[in-house]
Amino acid sequence: MAFTNDAALLEVNDLVVQFPSPNGWLTVVDKVSFSVGRNDIVCVVGESGSGKSVTMQAAVGLVQPKGGRVTSGSVHFEGQELIGMGNRQLNRIRGNAIGFIFQEPMSSLNPAYTVGEQIAEVVRRHRGASRRDAWKRAVEMLDRVNIASAASRAHDYPHQFSGGMRQRVMIAMAIACDPKLLIADEPTTSLDVTIQSLILELIRELQRESGMSVLFITHDLGVVADIARSVVVMYGAQVVESASVEDLFRAPKHPYTGGLLEAMPQVALERGHDPVAIPGTVAQAHAWPSGCRFNPRCVFRQDGVCTTAPIVLSRDDHGLVRCARSSELRGVLAGMGIRQLGSAA
Amino acid sequence: MTALCLNVEDLHVVYDVGSTALGRRRRLHAVNGVSLAIPPGETLGLVGESGSGKSTTGLAILRLIEPASGSVRLGNTDVAGASRQEIRKLRRRMQIVFQDPFSSLNPSMTIQTLLEEPLLIHTDMPASERRAMVGKTLEAVGLHPGYAVRYPHEFSGGQRQRVAIARAMIVRPEFVVLDEPVSALDVSTQSQILNLLKTIQTESGTAFLLVAHDLAVVRLMSPNVAVMYLGEIVETGPSARVYDQPAHPYSAALISAVPFPDPQRQRGDRIILRGDLPNPMAPPSGCRFRTRCPFAMDVCTAEVPLPVPIEGGGTASCHLHTHGPRLGGQSLRPLIHTRRMQMV
């Protein structure tokens, strides 16, 4: 589950991250909490500027080099506090117990080294393996991610691979040290849909076999439905909803989640009308609206209730939601869920 | 037959990509014999993966890259054979909206300048009329006329795409290429832009060529669709028919690859394509899709498939209709379902 878990592998609590701007520090992650259990796949879904990627970067100490700062909150990984941990210690965890894949595989790979060398390097660094063993492991990993004739392809350079193949190489590198957690930040966004479905299948398969947990960051609700077990929805630097994947799609609890579903072409097609667009534009860190950050775009906004005081995250049996009107809107919002579609085949 | 807005016949685009060690020129046949027709005021969807040649087709129609051969007619005007000077004049009648509104708008120009520029080039409107036109067009794309004094960086992606659409539409073109107009935008704003394009079309009667990778988007936006693979059109037809009853395995794979936003409905009759797009420098013999096709037969290596008429409209170039299961113009769906059952 994405919310509170005693035996969580990763637990993010009240994380606040700020970046400098000409007008002072901007809060781009605002008291974000969620957890990733063992053997779990959690999707963090949100649009650009929602804070979903920064949350992940802050959790593993990657915002300071970019000029950002973590002002409060904690991130526990296997009981260890990662916030404030020194780089030397973090380096022992990153790439080892926590593997990463990013959106642009080409910019994450070094063009001057063969892919075999780059995977072997990771194994040598974290496992202290000999050159020969590390190379063997690299080939084994390339084979594991379904790269044909892995032993010879290991001698090839990144530019000799297609986009989809490079992402496979990144995955091979990320899982070479048997991570307990794989963080995947929009790993299929730059790929064709046909290649995307293969990469999602591969991640799912690797997860099932190894029992590692996956923290998957995406903007695409289709991808969420395909891969997630639980979902954290972010908007305007905050968590606005958190639920199991079934609950989220059957009965969204936040108007933003419901609106995202209604705006999807596939959903509109099934319902036989044009997509219902969410009006307005995504909220920006330099000008958060007062009250609910989604209120200027929300069709259910009620002046006063939604527009003055900050809205707190409240809990029910099925998850968390940050909406002042969530209990009275429950029925309406459930009507936006996927269950309402004709064919449930 | 009603007059067509755009008629493309047997379009070829060939890129020179350097030379071999022996000095022979290496060529990439990016578009290989594409034919399309769009009536006035209608949208044709053109879908395919990156590398399929769909964007190249759009650019070659507008002569933004030079076609190697083929005919392109805009109304009664020959576009493919037009001189450079004639092309400049034709630009008023045919426009383009690019995918990325962050790189397609000059950051040092105000919205006013950006929108006035096409009018200055293509019309002899006096300044007062131009200003009025800019205001009117901004309103038509859902932006406040007061925004004219601002710069592109002051706008979000969706708003910038509205500006790009305004810039294309301000000269009242007959035909516009929309090259992946929403895929760079935030998901919550994508459908705003799709709905806006529909409204604009109803009012202006402009014909659109919508280049996209998502068949669901095309299904919503256009009555007809053409599916491209490795430089060739493999299936055409009414979007509803192609989306619901695809007759080419590649169309079926493209549709099923887009994950449906329902956790209960994943990986049902999904066709998984193994491997990547083959090297376009050396396309496979026979059917170009055969190397990734789950239904490939011997004949697919030997013979190039010809277009077969499909029940419900359009054509599909696939041997499955004349060999093997001999679908004879029927949907591929039953075949996919049977294959799925056999695998289970």
**Cβ separation A277–B257 shorter than 8 A:** no
Q: Which residue of A53, A194, A270 to mutate against B (max B Cβ within 10 Å)?
A: A194
| Distance from C-alpha of B334 to C-alpha of B329, rounded to nearest angstrom | 13
Checking if the pLDDT of B227 tops 80, the result is yes
The model's confidence at residue B342, banded by pLDDT at 50, 70 and 90, is: low
Do B258 and B199 lie in one domain? The reply is no
Classified as helix, coil or strand, B10 is: strand
pLDDT at B148: 94
Q: Is residue B329 part of a domain?
A: yes
Least CB-CB distance to B261: which of A164, A279, A338? Answer: A338
- In sequence order, what DSSP letters do the residues of A162-215 get, joined into one string? -HHHHHHHHHHHHHTT--SEEEEESTTTTS-HHHHHHHHHHHHHHHHHH--EEE
Q: Kindly report the nearest CA distance between residue A265 and chain B, in angstroms.
A: 6
Subunit contact A282:B276, Cβ cutoff 8 A: no
Question: Can you give the pLDDT at residue A49?
Answer: 86
Give the pLDDT confidence score for residue B343 in this predicted structure.
Answer: 55
Q: Is B179 part of a structural domain of the chain?
A: yes
Assess whether B147 and B285 both reside in one domain. Answer: no
- For residue A281, the model assigns a pLDDT of 85
Measured distance CA(A268)–CA(A333) in Å, rounded:
16
Gap from A271 CA to chain B (nearest CA, Å): 12
> Can you read off the two tokens belonging to residue B231?
């430089």
Judgement on whether residues B131 and B187 belong to the same structural domain of the protein: yes
Q: How many A-B residue pairs are in contact by the CB < 8 A criterion?
A: 136
Residues B70 and B212 in one domain: yes
Q: Please, which residues have CB within 8 angstroms of residue A251's CB and are 6 or more apart in sequence? A: A318, A330, A333, A334, A337, A339
Domain boundaries, chain A: 8-97+179-339
Show Cβ contacts of residue A47 under 8 Å, excluding neighbours closer than 6 positions. A219, A235, A282, B186, B187, B188
User: The CATH number of the domain where B88 resides is what?
Assistant: 3.40.50.300
How far is the C-alpha of A267 from the C-alpha of B273, rounded, in Å? Answer: 24
Mean pLDDT of chain A: 92
User: Is the pLDDT score of A282 beyond 90?
Assistant: no
Q: What is the pLDDT of residue A1?
A: 45
> Which among A277, A278, A281 has CB closest to B156?
A281
Query: Do B88 and B183 belong together in one domain?
Result: yes
Give the confidence band of A77 by pLDDT, cuts at 50, 70, 90.
very high
> Based on C-alpha coordinates, what's the Rg of chain B?
22
Domain-located, residue B234: no
The answer on B262 and B176 residing in a single domain is no
**What's phi and psi for A316, nearest 5 deg?**
-130, -165
**Same domain (yes/no): B130, B192:** yes
B189:A196 CB<8 A:
no
Residues B283, B204 share a domain: no
Using CA coordinates, name the residue in chain A closest to B275.
A195
Q: Are β-strands B315-316 and B308-309 bridged in parallel, bridged antiparallel, or unpaired?
A: antiparallel
Question: To probe the interface with B, which of A189, A192, A250, A293 has the most B CB atoms within 10 Å?
Answer: A192
| Strand A80-81 versus strand B308-309 pairing type | unpaired
Q: What is the CATH number of domain A8-97+179-339?
A: 3.40.50.300
A interface mutation test: which of B239, B242, B262, B271 has the most A CBs within 10 A?
Answer: B262
Q: Per the CB < 8 Å rule, is A263 touching B187?
A: yes
Indicate the angle between helix axes A163-175 and A131-144, nearest 10 degrees.
130
Residue B331 lies in a domain: yes
Range of the domain at B108: 6-222
Is B239 a member of any domain?
Answer: no
pLDDT (0 to 100) of residue B340 = 67
Nearest by CB: B189 against A224, A225, A281: A281
Question: Which of B185, B206, B222 marks a domain boundary?
Answer: B222
Which chain B residue is nearest to residue A45, measuring alpha carbons?
A: B187
Q: Which residues of A236-272 are buried (b: 16+ CB within 10 A; e: fewer)?
A: bbbbbbbbbbbbbbbbbbbbbbbbbbbbbbbbbbbee
Per the model's pLDDT, the better-predicted residue between B274 and A194 turns out to be A194
Output the pLDDT for position A345.
37
Which residues 31-50 of B have a C-beta within 8 angstroms of A?
Answer: 49-50
**CB under 8 Å to A211, separation ≥6 — which residues?**
A38, A39
Is residue B206 domain-shared with residue B119, that is, in the same domain? yes
Confidence band, pLDDT 50/70/90 cuts, at residue A344 = very low
Host H or E run for residue B55: helix B54-61
Q: Write the pLDDT tens digit of every residue in B91-134.
A: 999 999 999 888 899 999 999 999 999 999 999 999 999 999 99
B194 with A275: Cβ contact below 8 A = yes
**pLDDT higher than 60, residue B292:** yes
Predicted confidence (pLDDT) at residue A5 exceeds the cutoff of 60: no
Determine what percent of chain A is predicted with pLDDT higher than 90: 79
Residue B113 covered by a domain: yes
The number of folded domains in chain B is 2
Q: How confident is the model at residue B267 (pLDDT cuts 50, 70, 90)?
A: low
Residues B264 and B174 in one domain: no
Same domain, B251 and B200: no
Sheet with B43-47: list strands edge to edge. Answer: B94-97, B175-179, B207-212, B43-47, B224-229, B232-238, B315-316, B308-309
Across A236-255, average pLDDT: 95
- Tell me: do B123 and B175 sit in the same domain: yes
Average pLDDT over residues A108-136: 95
The single-letter DSSP state of residue A308 is: S
| Average pLDDT, integer, range B237-258 | 94
End-to-end CA distance of chain A: 26
